[in-house]
Amino acid sequence: MSTLSDLVLAQGRSSQADVDWLHMLVGDLQLLADLAFADIVLWVPSGDDDFVAVAHSRPSSAATLFYRDFVGQPIKSQWRELVDEAFHGARIADSSAPDWYEEMPTRVRAVPVMRRLALTGTKVAPEPVAVITRHTNLGATRTASRQELTFNECADELFEMIASGDFPDLGAPTGPRRGAPRASDGLIRLDVDGTTTFASPNALSAFNRMGFEDELEGESLAEVTTRLLTGKLVVDESLPLVVTGRAPWRTDVESRGVTVSLRAIPIRRTGERIGAIVLSRDVTELRHQEQELITKDATIREIHHRVKNNLQTVASLLRIQARRTHSDEAREALTQAMRRVGAIAVVHDTLSEGLSQNVDFDAVFDRALLLVAEVASAHNTTAHPKRSGSFGVLPSEYATPLALALTELVTNAVEHGLAGQEGDVEIIAERSDTMLSVQVRDTGSGLPEGKVGEGLGTQIVRTLIQGELGGTIDWHTVVGRGTEVTIEVPLRWITSA
């Protein structure tokens, strides 16, 4: 299904600023549906003076009227006149008689979506950017509870703010929605002075778990929170603005081992704040899980760091041993082993710096290429390494064997292809969605009679590329241009993830 941006821009009537505003609004469409106990549909104008649905939220607090999404569909004729009135008149329009949908009586309200032009001031766009329709089921007739009446009152106030450009709030941060409080988690209604006029049972329970034993209604939420935090050395600086309902921010309150997330939505009328909605949610378990993940990530990074240190120690021991040996053959074998251990250490060093187990392989390989200068100096060779293209980000399952294999190939190109002379070593990387292709070229003497070596280095490369990565490798001599090695590795672990 197309994204909201695609659906809106495809109609040809909306700017990018309109799309950004609608993205913020859609983030709270579920809240509106839950508070209104109604289905909420967002319509944007199309190029042919019609309207197309770009978002639809069903209430979790009541049964939905529409079992099929309207997203991507043109508006139904029975709602067209009402939506036209709201859009062209830039005012809220209500159906004068029950609207029947599949033999179910409903009440429809159309709300124009006005876009605020700046964080400060009262200027809005000259015409609505969209229209919201609120579809309320009139079939379930029963006496509404005090909570339902309060929720509906809050919904009405938010719809009025949408029609005046006061909601969504440009001052609200765009933080992650994981763990964000919802209407059903707990709702507290504040007056302009920050005194609680209503607290849902779930909201009261959350504060009870933190140690507050009385009723919230009639109490200053700021004072209640202050008492809960007595003795705390560190308090979120945004907390006073949230618990008084003065800023559209979100914060956490922790007391007695319980963490409650609070989100404030200031209620404004003609630009003046008249109160606030504070949504609350007990996120104790969620915060524990997040802390466990942080601890695990830190542990994994520390393991990679220690492995890197141990590998560097091994490489240093091999270097010392190579310097002390009297056999040229043994010295060369130890030096090669040192470089191979160093290539693996580079990958672990990179993994120890990030949170994920993926690495920017371009950065890894550039560091591995620094080993070429050391190899060249040992063989009286002047090599000019050059990389083109991009490897991109690779999981550690790819990075370690690929780094070792490529280091081996570049080392072979310098040691054997360019031995005793000056030349270039070029590494070309090409990546598609399903395949990574790498070519290693040198301008040396080429393979003798086109034969591939049978040494340890060649065996290591074959084992890593064909065995561990399931790829292919091909050596051949380019006449007058040296040797070219082509590697192709399928990215099946990435594409199947």
Please, what sign has the CA dihedral across residues 217, 222, 223, 225? positive
Residue 442 lies in a domain: yes
Residues 141 and 252 in one domain: no
Q: What pLDDT, on a 0 to 100 scale, did the predictor assign at position 355?
A: 56
Residues 32 and 57 in one domain: yes
Instruction: Give yes or no for a contact between 133 and 209, defined as CB atoms under 8 angstroms apart.
Output: no
Residue 237 lies in a domain: yes
Residue 475 lies in a domain: yes
Residues 51 and 156 in one domain: yes
- Gap between the Cα atoms of 66 and 58, Å rounded: 8
- The domain that contains 196 carries what CATH number? 3.30.450.20
346's tokens: 């580079």
Residues 277 and 304 in one domain: no
Residues 409 and 275 in one domain: no
DSSP-derived pairing of the beta strands 422-431 and 382-389? parallel
Residues 239 and 295 in one domain: no
The pTM (predicted TM-score) of the whole model is 0.65
Q: Where a domain ends, among 237, 261, 282?
A: 282
Residue 369 lies in a domain: no
Q: What pLDDT, on a 0 to 100 scale, did the predictor assign at position 496?
A: 41
Boundaries of domain holding 473: 380-497
Residue 171 lies in a domain: no
Residue 195 lies in a domain: yes
* Alpha carbon 196 to its chain's center: 35
Residue found by looking up tokens 């009870």 in the block: 208
Residues 249 and 291 in one domain: no
- Gap between the Cα atoms of 238 and 227, Å rounded: 17
Q: Tens of pLDDT along the chain (497 residues)?
A: 468 888 888 888 888 999 999 999 999 999 999 999 999 999 999 978 899 999 999 998 788 888 888 899 999 999 999 999 999 999 999 988 887 777 788 899 999 999 998 887 788 899 999 999 999 988 766 678 899 999 999 999 999 999 999 999 888 876 655 668 999 999 999 999 999 999 999 999 999 999 999 999 999 999 999 988 876 655 677 888 999 999 999 988 988 889 999 999 999 988 889 999 999 999 988 877 777 776 676 677 777 777 777 777 887 888 788 888 888 888 877 877 777 777 777 777 766 666 567 788 888 888 777 766 666 566 667 777 888 888 888 887 888 888 888 888 887 777 777 777 778 888 899 998 888 999 888 887 776 655 666 667 778 888 888 888 888 988 887 766 778 889 898 887 654 43
Residues 24 and 124 in one domain: yes
| CA-closest candidate to residue 194, choices 167, 218, 170, 174 | 218
474's tokens: 């091909």
Q: Where a domain ends, among 282, 312, 345?
A: 282
Residues 197 and 141 in one domain: no
| CA-closest candidate to residue 65, choices 111, 96, 106 | 106
- The domain that contains 497 carries what CATH number? 3.30.565.10
Query: What's the domain count of the chain?
Result: 4
Residues 447 and 488 in one domain: yes
Residue 175 lies in a domain: no
Q: What pLDDT, on a 0 to 100 scale, did the predictor assign at position 495?
A: 45
Residues 146 and 59 in one domain: yes
Q: Where a domain ends, among 104, 137, 164?
A: 164
Residues 17 and 139 in one domain: yes
3-state secondary structure of 386: strand
Residue 361 lies in a domain: no
